[in-house]
Amino acid sequence: MAELKVPNLNRKSDKYLFKKKLTLSRKSKRKLLSESFFMFFLSSLLIYLNYLIPNKKFLFANLTLNFEKLIFKLFEISKHLNQILLVIFILSSLIIAIVLILGSFYRILRVVRRKTKSITYR
């Protein structure tokens, strides 16, 4: 009989989950320099983009006011959304009710108009 490999549940988990998949080799100086220049370029680009934004002081001064307006608008939207969903529910329930009524009338007519089997004796 082949041996089954049963995991040992009492064994403590390793400190690092992917410990054996880590590359332990050191990076070359050239690669380190290229990565550092790339990081410097990205940080310079972000600083320049921040520099291009006008009226930074005004934006920071009105930040709390803008949050208050945002929260007020969200409450207003939720109030109107409630009414819109209620109208959609009313319309869809009316359409479903009309379809069910028409289906019931159609079924009643089919039962009433059903042909009775005429028994003919030969």
CA angle 27, 31, 36 (to 5 degrees): 110
Here the tokens at position 117 are: 């089997």
Q: pLDDT tens digits for 27-64?
A: 888 989 999 999 999 999 999 999 999 998 999 899 99
Q: pLDDT tens digits for 55-67?
A: 989 998 999 999 9
CA angle 75, 64, 44 (to 5 degrees): 120
Q: Where are the alpha helices (DSSP H) in 53-62?
A: 56-61
pTM: 0.41
> Residue 23 has what DSSP assignment?
-
Distance separating alpha carbons of residues 82 and 79, to the nearest angstrom: 5
Q: pLDDT tens digits for 77-104?
A: 888 898 899 999 999 999 999 999 999 9
Residue 69: HSE in the Cβ half-sphere, 13 Å Cα cutoff: 5
User: Residues of 27-62 as b/e, b for ≥16 C-beta within 10 angstroms?
Assistant: eeeeeeeeeeeeeeeeeeeeeeeeeeeeeeeeeeee
